[in-house]
Amino acid sequence: MKDYLVLRVITKLLVPFILLFGLYVQFHGDFGPGGGFQAGVIFAAGFVLYAMVFGVASAQRILPEGILRAGIAGGVLIYASVGLLGLILGENYLNYSPLSHVSKEGQHLGIFLIELGVGTTVASVMMTVFFTFATWREE
Amino acid sequence: MADFEGLYNYWIVIVLAMAGLYIVIARGNLIKKLVGLNIFQASVFVLYISFSKVSGGTAPILEKGIDVYSNPLPHVLILTAIVVGVATTALGLALVVRIRKEYGTIEEDDIHSQDESM
Amino acid sequence: MEEAVNIVILALMAVTVIGIVFIRNLMAVVMLSGIYSLLAASVFVVLDAVDVAFTEAAVGAGISTVLFIGTLALTTRIEKKPAHKPYLPFIVVAITGAALIYGSFDMARFGDAEAVTNKHVAPYYLENTKKHTGIPNVVTAVLASYRGYDTLGEVVVIFTAGIGVILLLGSWRRGLTPPAPHKRDEA
């Protein structure tokens, strides 16, 4: 893709902002529109754009397969273990109130962690799927 | 017959869903079938979001001085359904790629005739 | 004004879908389905579902289109002419559609605040979200807290789909061994 100068320059300019926007959507999701699902997809879209213009190999140098696979499982694990934490602290599964001494703050913290888990899994799955499609070759 | 006003959204949704269904059952190309499934799926999303709209309401993000909000529950259901939808679409596309590798075609008729002749 | 925008965008969606039905160039079909998703996202904004619109725009018009194009690159771009005359599917679809339109007469009118769907649990969420969780976005609160089980299930579905794609196409036998060294791309 070395001939498409405009594409490469614009992509380099855009990718940091897409990733930043993804993080904003992730961590501002409690107050405005947004949350883990959207943030995960936007974050993945940034890397997909980069991989389409500069090649999957250079994108995978930043995010190797192993990290993405850890992310796929890790997000679900974060989610499930936050639920378990509530259970251990004497409440129902996925009740976040006991995470802090004030019930409201516990809920807020729980929602934050859950969204983090959702975002991790969604972003990792989307990137893995794209990389898998892009690198698959008929033997 | 009751008044037709306020049913426009549902009728468009029905048209979209039926077009998606038609593509799925009438076309033999597997990628086109998946596009048809996506169309059907998105039409269901529009149906749910149409349910949740309240006249004069606003987006369900609490703000002082606003009393009327649209129903947040369908939003939650559809939000997750969209992401699950793309994940399952990806799985379907992966299957299409594998079918193409095994059969050399993604047309349903050709796949069927190859299976028959075996 | 809102209603007018709603009507126009939904009509555009219908036109797009008619295009998708008749076009046989799969690349054009995929691009049209991306446009269709973007139009759906615009409808969601008009109908106050900003979170959903966000997701649909990023997923439907973005990732999903890219995945379809990736598949086209691995398979084929032109759909074969259908071998059969599509009379039977058309009859099935027409009957189903007629039944659904008949059913739509009993539905709550668009925007009705007194509809059953808007009177059941939704007021509870709207009233108590601030008190219970202290966050203003009700959609996030319902998603993560009130209906946390649902969302956990959805995340597991996404997880499973990801694993499925890796198993079908991925290099899972290669495991976690580092990828072969490569020379730097022309970046």
Q: DSSP letters along C122-136, please?
A: HHHHHHHHHHHH--S
Which of C26, C80, C100 is nearest residue B14 as measured by Cβ atoms? C100
Please report whether residue B36 resides in a domain. yes
Scanning every residue of chain B, which has its alpha carbon at the shortest distance from the alpha carbon of C43? Answer: B46
Scanning every residue of chain C, which has its alpha carbon at the shortest distance from the alpha carbon of A5? Answer: C187
β-bridge partners, C137: B61
Give pLDDT tens digits for C144-166: 888 889 999 999 999 999 999 99
Give pLDDT tens digits for A42-56: 999 999 999 999 989
Whether A33 and B61 lie within 8 Å, measured CB to CB:
yes
Q: Is B66 on the interface with C (CB under 8 A)?
A: no
Give pLDDT tens digits for B104-115: 999 988 999 999
pLDDT at C56: 93
Chain C residues with CB inside 8 Å of A52's CB? 66
Please report whether residue B101 resides in a domain. yes
Mean pLDDT of C102-116: 86
Whether A129 and B90 lie within 8 Å, measured CB to CB:
yes
Whether B2 and C72 lie within 8 Å, measured CB to CB:
no
Name the residue type at position A81: S
**pLDDT grade for B3, boundaries at 50, 70 and 90:** low
Whole-number Cα distances in Å, B69 to A95, A100, B114, C31, C50: 26, 30, 57, 35, 12
**pLDDT grade for C187, boundaries at 50, 70 and 90:** very low
The Cα–Cα gap between B70 and B60 comes to 6
Q: Residue B4 pLDDT more than 80?
A: no
Please report whether residue B63 resides in a domain. no
User: Token pair of B115, please?
Assistant: 């299976």
Mean pLDDT of B40-53: 93
pLDDT at C113: 83
pLDDT at C83: 75
Contact yes or no for C42/B43 (Cβ under 8 A) = no
Percentage, residues of chain B above pLDDT 90: 62
The Cα–Cα gap between A44 and A52 comes to 12
The residues of chain A scoring below 70 in pLDDT are 1-2, 138-139
To the nearest whole angstrom, how far is the Cα of A122 from the nearest Cα of chain B?
8
User: Token pair of B109, please?
Assistant: 């008729």
pLDDT at B49: 93
To the nearest whole angstrom, how far is the Cα of B117 from the nearest Cα of chain C?
18
β-bridge partners, B58: B69
CATH number at residue B101: 1.10.287.3510
**pLDDT grade for C109, boundaries at 50, 70 and 90:** confident
Chain B residues with CB inside 8 Å of A35's CB? 79
The Cα–Cα gap between B43 and C127 comes to 30
The residue behind tokens 């306020």 is: B6
pLDDT at B7: 87
Q: Residue B10 pLDDT more than 50?
A: yes
Whether C17 and B39 lie within 8 Å, measured CB to CB:
yes
Q: Is B31 on the interface with C (CB under 8 A)?
A: yes
**What is the separation of C-alpha B108 from the centre of its chain, rounded to a whole number of angstroms?**
22
pLDDT at A23: 94
Give pLDDT tens digits for C173-186: 554 444 455 444 44
Range of the domain at B38: 9-54+69-117
Burial class (CB in 10 A: 0-12, 13-18, 19+), C185: middle
pLDDT at C172: 56
Chain B residues with CB inside 8 Å of A26's CB? none
> What residues contact residue B42 under an 8 Å CB cut-off, 6+ apart?
B16, C36, C37, C40, C56, C60
How open is the CA angle C155-A38-B53, to the nearest 5 degrees? Answer: 100
The Cα–Cα gap between B102 and B17 comes to 32
Query: What ipTM describes this predicted complex?
Result: 0.92
- Write phi, then psi, for B58 (nearest 5 degrees): -135, 175
pLDDT at B15: 94
Residues of chain B numbered 31-70 and touching chain A (CB < 8 Å): 59, 61
To the nearest whole angstrom, how far is the Cα of B94 from the nearest Cα of chain A?
8
Q: What is the DSSP letter of B1?
A: -
The Cα–Cα gap between B15 and A134 comes to 35
Q: Mean pLDDT lowest for which of B4-8, B67-71, B109-113, C135-139?
A: B4-8
Q: Is C58 on the interface with B (CB under 8 A)?
A: no
Task: Supply the mean pLDDT for chain C.
Answer: 87
Mean pLDDT of C80-85: 80
Q: Residue B28 pLDDT more than 50?
A: yes
To the nearest whole angstrom, how far is the Cα of C180 from the nearest Cα of chain B?
24
Please report whether residue B73 resides in a domain. yes
**pLDDT grade for B1, boundaries at 50, 70 and 90:** very low
Neighbours of chain C (3+ CB pairs under 8 A): A, B
pLDDT at C79: 86
The Cα–Cα gap between B65 and C119 comes to 21
> What residues contact residue A40 under an 8 Å CB cut-off, 6+ apart?
A22, A26, A118, A119, A120, A121, A122, A123, A124, A126, B83
Whole-number Cα distances in Å, C168 to A69, C68, C70, C165: 15, 16, 15, 5
Nearest CA to C74 out of A122, B86, A130 is that of A130
Domain count, chain B: 1
> How many CB pairs below 8 Å do chains A and C form together?
156
Whole-number Cα distances in Å, A38 to A53, A54, B32, B72, C164: 23, 24, 26, 17, 22
The Cα–Cα gap between A129 and C121 comes to 37
Contact yes or no for C58/A39 (Cβ under 8 A) = no
